Amino acid sequence: MEVAIPRQSQRLPGISMAGFGPRLPALVDIVMVAHPSVTLFMDLSKGGCLAYDAHGRRERGSVAVGLLPGNLRISGRTAEAGPCLQIRLSPVVAASVLGAATDLVGTVVSLQDVWGRDAGRTEDRLRAATSWDERFTIAADVLRRRLDTRPPLDPHITAVWRRMLTSRGQVRVDSLANEMGWSRKHLWSRFRSQTGLTPKRAAQLVRFDHAAHLLAAGTPTAQVAATSGYADQSHLNREVKAFTGVTPTAIAAAPWLAIDDTAWPTTPIHPPPPPSALRRVHAM
């Protein structure tokens, strides 16, 4: 599968993009692994190649995937398969880009349901583009405008999220609350209102993501458990099962993770910079 990534000038804080194509393989059938981001798949084929399950129905076209969507299978089975743009939004950035990111937790919905008519207009512009460089520029401009016209990110929640990422999920909620000068209850309320997850669940998701990538890199399970802050290998097994429904061995062989080093060559999701930089994102 051909993979394209944006130039540095096309990147925005807390947002990662990767392009797949110009033509997908004749048969695409990949199970998505839980990831600490809200993910947008923009289907740029002519006939709605990408298929997914939502609300008990088989749907086609561009899709928004919330945090912890459960078992999501993305597939395409048509000779007309075109390129696909994948966008990962950190939870705190997703709150600004989508406006209702908290409502997406545990769900998979049509992109039009959360983006409105702008979804179709953006897809048309992306389909008309003749290169991935042009597509990334278009997508960055659209995302920049959405950030610029919505309420600013909560700098405190941004800081909490950044601490979760830099600690790879190995930070206690009590410690986070103390750093903010808040009570545990206040942190829980503020964080969940912005992201849809409790701080503890979000940290667990970040920790799982780090562990999953170590497993995919061939690191022995016992070593992954110790490195990632799990009490023991059984603890890791239980958490992997809770997030994915499968074993660490199955995660290690997941096609979804096999392309991560190519599609997302730095970190699984870029940590947001200090709040001042986030407020300046529209000027980049």
Residue-level pLDDT at 133: 96
Q: Would you say residue 276 has pLDDT above 60?
A: no
Q: What is the 3-state secondary structure (H, E, C) of the chain?
A: CCEECCCHHHCECCEEEEEECCCCCCCEEEEECCCCCEEEEEECCCCCCEEEEECCEEEECCEEECCCCCCEEEEECCCCCCCEEEEEECHHHHHHHHCCHHHHCCCEEEHHHHHCHHHHHHHHHHHHCCCHHHHHHHHHHHHHHHHHCCCCCCHHHHHHHHHHHHCCCCCCHHHHHHHHCCCHHHHHHHHHHHHCCCHHHHHHHHHHHHHHHHHHCCCCHHHHHHHCCCCCHHHHHHHHHHHHCCCHHHHHCCHHHHCHHHHCCCCCCCCCCCHHHHHCHHHC
Q: How confident is the model at residue 125 (pLDDT cuts 50, 70, 90)?
A: very high
CB 164 within 8 A of CB 284: no
Residue with the bigger pLDDT between 95 and 221: it is: 221
Q: Would you say residue 127 has pLDDT above 70?
A: yes
User: pLDDT tens digits, residue range 160-170?
Assistant: 999 999 999 99
- Read off the pLDDT of each residue in 256-271 and give the average, rounded to a whole number: 64
Q: What is the CA radius of gyration of the chain?
A: 18
Q: Would you say residue 151 has pLDDT above 50?
A: yes
Share of the chain above pLDDT 70, in %: 82
Q: Would you say residue 275 has pLDDT above 80?
A: no
The backbone torsions φ and ψ at residue 47, rounded to the nearest 5 degrees and listed phi first, read: -120, 15
Residue-level pLDDT at 6: 94
Q: Domain 3-150 is of which CATH architecture?
A: Sandwich (2.60)
Provide the CATH topology of domain 155-253.
Arc Repressor Mutant, subunit A (1.10.10)
Which residues belong to CATH 1.10.10.60 in the chain? 155-253
0.75 exceeded by pTM: yes
Q: Would you say residue 20 has pLDDT above 70?
A: yes
Q: Using CA atoms, how far apart are residues 126 and 119, in angstroms rounded to an integer?
A: 11
Selection from 14-28, 100-114, 233-247 with the highest mean pLDDT: 233-247
Which residues belong to CATH 2.60.120 in the chain? 3-150
Residue-level pLDDT at 71: 62
Q: How confident is the model at residue 102 (pLDDT cuts 50, 70, 90)?
A: confident
Residue with the bigger pLDDT between 273 and 42: it is: 42
Q: Would you say residue 100 has pLDDT above 90?
A: no
Q: How confident is the model at residue 273 (pLDDT cuts 50, 70, 90)?
A: very low
User: pLDDT tens digits, residue range 168-218?
Assistant: 999 999 999 999 999 999 999 999 998 999 999 999 999 999 999 999 999
Residue-level pLDDT at 51: 72
